[in-house]
Amino acid sequence: MLGVLFVIIACTLWALDTLIRYPLLYGGFSPDLLVFTEHALLCLVFSPVITSLLKKFWQAKVKEIFYFAMIGGLGSALATLTFTKAFVLINPSLVILLQKFQPLVAIVFARIVLGEQFKRQYFVWAILCLVGAFLISFQDISGIKTSDFSLNKSMLLGYGLTLFSVVSWGLATVFGKALENNYSVKEIMAGRFFFGLIFLIPIVVSRPFALPINFDYWAKISIMVGLSGIAGMYFYYRGLRLLSARLCTLAELFFPFCAVALNWIFLGKSLDAFQIAGGLLLLTGSTIIKIKHY
């Protein structure tokens, strides 16, 4: 249960991050620049670990470097970027709904990459978790209007970006699990941020940009780095060491529950009966999977 608790703490920190991230986005700051500056600061903080990790790469297996590239380039950089951009292209409720398919991606690749075996009962409780995650977002989903489904290039791009982030985060969970036997939590975090920055550099330099000199911007970016980048990822990988990849990705579904809870506390948006019921189903399902070792 300690592993589940660590992932829940990580989800809470990521939810706190959204209270800062999305106001910055809607305040006119580019998603590309936002994610890039965040990774640049994280690499600066982890520079000693990155230096030792690069030396370790000389003796590493090629597949291990590939795994780092996947969790950094896909999971840390591109998934965050595409998820953020999707919010301004399609109805955010659809983005939230499509994220519920992430556990299914992780389940499939955990079987392919890690060889994790599943008991039949696992899928019963996994479906219960997905139902709970759906109920958490029911209020947003029920507000979708039929007119919003008129397909156009912008919406198709939004769907594509959302699905890309879903697959990327699912893969990042699996590949992060594959690295834990040979690398420490700090090394995995450092590699994630380093490869994330590498993937972001071509995107940022391909278009004119200027770093903001606004103190408020850098203060908020620093808080985000501390919350989701350092503390959040630390607890996440601590939890991943204690959990299977399939259970970890289910526990990650606490993120939307944490987000709506924080909205209730700080923004005055109360939780309805569906969201409370969904949170209880999610907690019950993931707890039983852990106890029964499904």
What's the pTM value of the predicted model, to 2 decimals? 0.76
* 153 pLDDT above the threshold of 80: no
Residue 282 and residue 132 in contact, taking contact as beta carbons nearer than 8 Å:
yes
* 150 pLDDT above the threshold of 70: no
Could you tell me the two tokens for 192?
């994630």
* 49 pLDDT above the threshold of 90: yes
Q: Cα angle vertex 69, ends 21, 256, to 5°?
A: 35
- pLDDT band of residue 47 (cuts 50, 70, 90) is very high
* Contacting residues for 175 by C-beta, under 8 A, at least 6 apart: 67, 70, 71, 75, 113
Question: Between these two residues, 27 and 16, which has the higher pLDDT value?
Answer: 16
- pLDDT band of residue 187 (cuts 50, 70, 90) is very high
> Which whole number is the average pLDDT over 155-181?
83
pLDDT score at 241: 81
Please state the domain extents for the chain.
2-292
User: Alpha-carbon distance 39 to 130, whole Å?
Assistant: 31
Question: Between these two residues, 292 and 8, which has the higher pLDDT value?
Answer: 8
* 53 pLDDT above the threshold of 90: yes
Residue 140 and residue 261 in contact, taking contact as beta carbons nearer than 8 Å:
no
pLDDT score at 278: 76
* 265 pLDDT above the threshold of 70: yes
Could you tell me the two tokens for 45?
């903080």
Lowest average pLDDT, out of 139-143, 162-166, 241-245, goes to: 139-143
Question: CA–CA distance from 169 to each of 6, 215, 220 (Å)?
Answer: 18, 32, 24
Could you tell me the two tokens for 107?
């389940």
pLDDT score at 40: 92
Top mean pLDDT of 4-18, 66-80, 101-115 is at 66-80
* 74 pLDDT above the threshold of 60: yes
- Residue 28 gets which letter from DSSP? T
pLDDT score at 215: 80
Residue 22 and residue 87 in contact, taking contact as beta carbons nearer than 8 Å:
yes
What does the pLDDT look like over 89-124, one tens digit per residue?
766 655 665 666 666 677 777 777 767 676 777 778
* 35 pLDDT above the threshold of 60: yes
- Residue 57 gets which letter from DSSP? G
> Which whole number is the average pLDDT over 14-35?
80
Could you tell me the two tokens for 102?
């992430």
pLDDT score at 197: 94
Residue 186 and residue 230 in contact, taking contact as beta carbons nearer than 8 Å:
no
- pLDDT band of residue 200 (cuts 50, 70, 90) is very high
* 176 pLDDT above the threshold of 60: yes
